Structure 1
Amino acid sequence: MNQKLYPLKFDPILKSKIWGGEKLKTILNKKSSLDNIGESWEISDVEGDRSVVSNGNLKGQSLKSLIETFKADLIGENNYRIFGNKFPLLIKFIDAREDLSIQLHPNDELAAKRHDSFGKTEMWYTFQADQDSNLIVGFNQHITPKKYLEHLSNKTLTDILNFDQVKKGDTYFIEVGRIHAIGAGVIVAEIQQTSDITYRVYDWDRVDSGGNERELHNDLALDAIDFEMPDNFRVDYAKTINQSNQMVSCPYFTTNYIDINTKLSKENTFDSFIIYICVEGEVEISTDNFSEILKQGETLLLPASIKHYELNSNKGKLLEVYV
C-alpha cells in the first residue's frame, strides 16, 4: 500500500430537521442550501450516512473503506479486536431552533436484541446557547414507572422533568436509560457510540407540513428507562491551559478539554485513534510530513498509527476524544 495515513478531515453530513435552524451555517460555517439544518454528522460509520474524506491523498474514500484497508493502523489494535471494521463513535453538532423531542436511548443489550445495534451512551458539550436556554436531563423528583405513565397519559410529562439552564462550555454525560432533550437556542457537540437508535416519548404535539405527528416509541421506552439513575449528569472539569483536562471517561470513550495558546508536542499512547473537535479559534495539527488547520466547528481524525504530532495555536480550544 503506497498511501499513508495522515490527519483526516471529512465532509459534514448535514440533515434537515423539523426543529433545526440556521446556526450550523451562520456560526459553524457549514455550506448547504438546505433549510432547518438540525445536525451535522462530522464523523460517522452509520450505514447510509458514512463519512467521506475531504482532504489529502485519500480524499473521496469512505471511513468504512479506510477501516477495511488500514484496520488497526487507523483505529488501534484493541479497538480493531473489539469492533472489527466498524468505527465505534459518531460525532455530531446539533442546532436546536426549537426543543428536541423528549427521548432516551437503550443500552447495549436491548439495542443488540431489538435493533442489532450498539446502545447509545453520549455526552454533550454546549457550543453556544442563547440567553435562558435549557437542556432537559433526568427527572426533578423520584419517579416510579406508574407515576411516569400517568404523567405521559395526562400530557404533563414536563412537570416531572429536570430543566437545566445552560451556557457555553457546560457539559453533560447522558447514559443509556436517561431521559433527555436539547432545548431551543442551543448548539451542542455530541460524542456518542455509533448508533442511531432513539426512543422518542414526547414531541410537544408537533406536526409536520402534512399535519402528521412524528412516531413515538413509548412501549419500547418503558423497558429502557432507568428510573433509579442518580443525578450525576453534570460534568465538572478543569480548564488548565495547554494540557489535556479530562471531562468524561467511560467504557465507550474518553473526552478531554484543551485550551491552547502555544505549540504542544503530543504523543498518542492510547492504542486508539484520536478525534479533535475545534470549539473555538483554530489549531494547526502537524505530523512529520503533513499539517492541517482545524477551525471552529471542524473535526479531525488522527489515525492510531500516528504516535508523535504537534498542536499549535495562538488561541484555540479543542475537545480530544479517544476509545
Structure 2
Amino acid sequence: MKLKKHLVDKPWGRTDISAEFGNMSGRRVGEIWYSADTETPLPILVKWLFTSERLSIQVHPDDAQAQERGMPSGKEECWYVVDAEPGAVIGIGTKRPLSGEELYAASLSGEIEGLIDWKKVSAGDYFYIPAGTVHAIGAGISLVEVQQYADITYRLYDYGRDRELHLDDGVAVSSATPYADARSGQASLGTQLVDGPYFQLWHVRDMGDVPAFPHSGNVWIIPLSGQVQTDGGGAGKGECIVASDKAKIAFSSDATALVAF
C-alpha cells in the first residue's frame, strides 16, 4: 500500500519544496511523515526533512529509558542525505566526552553549539543515530529519515527560539561522546547501509540488490528517482510504499530507492 503523507510545519522548514511532494500552499514544511491508516502503528516510520535553519540540538532515549518515562519505545534512526547546499553541516556527537554536569551547563549557556561535532555533508552521505547520541541537522539539507516508530525528542538547546527545552530528561539519556558509529559514510548503490536492531536499510537500483526479505514480511520502499511498481500501484520520489515480501516489485531503468525492513 502507498502510505499517506502528513505535512508538518516547522520554524526551520522550507517554502520551496519541489512539486514532486505535492502542493504545499506556501506552508513552511519541515517534515513529511508517511504512515498507514491502521490501529497499530507500523514498526518503521519514514520521513523526509527539509531545513532552512539549524534544528535544535537534541537527543532520543533508548527503549528502557523511554518506558521508564511512560513511552512505548525509544528512538533510533538513520539519515540519508538527498541534497545539501555547499557548506551544509550535521552535528553528531560531541568533540570530547562531556559529563552530565558539563552537558547541562553547556546547554544552558549556549556553549554546546561549539562542543557539537559539526560535519560537512553532501548528497549520498548517511549516518545511523543510536539512542543517546546528541545531534542536530543543519540548514540547507534535504534528507530521508528512517526510524523506530516513536515521537520522542528531548531538546537540549534551540538557539533562543521560544520552545520548551527538556534538560533534565535530555541530559539523563545522553551519551555525550564523539560519534564513532560504523553505520555511516557515503552510500553506494546495491549496498546495505544499516543492519541494526530495529531495521535494515539498503540503497538499491532494484530488488535484486536485496538478498533476503525480513521475517516480518513487509518492506518499505522510498523512491529517490524513477518509478517503482508493485501489485498495489506505483510510486515515485516523494512517496513511500509498504509491500509484502510476496508482492511483485519492479523498478524503472532510472529508479533508485532506499529499502527498509
Q: TM-score, normalised by structure 1?
A: 0.74
Out of 207, 215, 226, the position equivalent to 1:271 is: 215
SS in 2 for 1:319: strand
What runs of 5+ residues in structure 2 fail to find an aligned partner? Answer: none
Partner of 1:96: 51
Give 1:86 shift.
3.8
1:11 aligns with 2:4: yes
* 1:248 CA drift (Å): 0.6
Counterpart of 1:191 in structure 2 is 146
| 1:92-124 CA-partner distances (Å, limit 9, x unpaired) | 001111111110001101111213221000110
Q: What SS does structure 2 have at the residue aligned with 1:115?
A: coil
Q: CA deviation at 1:63?
A: 2.9
Q: 1:239 aligns with which of 183, 188, 194?
A: 188
- 1:42 match: 34
Within-5 A mapping of 1:121-200: 121-200=76-155
Taking a change above 3 Å as real, the CA distance of residues 258 and 123 of structure 1, as seen in their structure-2 partners, is same
Shift of 1:296: 1.5
- Written as runs of structure 1 = structure 2, the 5 A alignment for 1:22-37 is 22-23=15-16, 25-26=17-18, 28-33=20-25, 35-37=27-29
Larger Rg: 1
Give the 3-state SS of the residue equivalent to 1:168 in structure 2: coil
Q: Does 1:315 align with 2:250?
A: no
CA contact (8 A) 1:264 1:312 kept: no
Is 1:292 matched with 2:218?
A: no
Give 3-state SS (helix, strand or coil) of 1:148's partner.
Answer: helix
**Judging changes above 3 Å, is the alpha-carbon distance between structure 1 residues 16 and 100 closer, same or farther for their aligned structure 2 residues?**
same
Q: Aligned residue for 1:214?
A: 163
**Distance across 2 between alignment mates of 1:168 and 1:230:** 20
Could you tell me which amino acid in structure 2 is paired with residue 270 of structure 1?
P
Contact 1:269 1:307 in 2 (8 A): no
How far residue 239 of structure 1 moved from its aligned partner, in angstroms, is 2.4
Number of matched pairs: 260
How far apart are the structure 2 equivalents of 1:106 and 1:264? 35
Q: Which amino acid aligns with 2:56?
A: S
User: What is the rounded CA distance, in whole Å, between the counterparts of 2:130 and 2:210 in structure 1?
Assistant: 30
Conserved in 2, the CA contact under 8 Å of 1:105 and 1:198? yes
Pairing 1:113–2:68 present: yes
Question: 2: CA distance between counterparts of 1:141 and 1:27?
Answer: 42
Distance 1:127 1:265 in 2: 20
Compute the displacement of 1:309 (Å). Answer: 2.0
CA deviations over 1:255-307 (Å, ceiling 9, x no partner): 001035xx95988642221000011x213323xxx36332122211103xx42
Q: Distance in 1 between matches of 2:89 and 2:219?
A: 30
CA contact (8 A) 2:203 2:259 kept: yes
2:29 and 2:76 map into 1 onto residues whose CA distance is: 23
Distance across 1 between alignment mates of 2:179 and 2:47: 26
In 1, the alpha carbon distance for the partners of 2:110 and 2:165 equals 13
Q: How far apart are the structure 1 equivalents of 2:183 and 2:212?
A: 28
Instruction: Name the SS of the counterpart of 1:63 in structure 2.
Output: coil
Aligned-residue RMSD, C-alpha: 2.2
Return 5+ residue gaps in structure 1 as ranges. 1-7, 44-50, 52-61, 65-84, 207-212
Is contact 2:45-2:146 (8 Å) kept?
yes
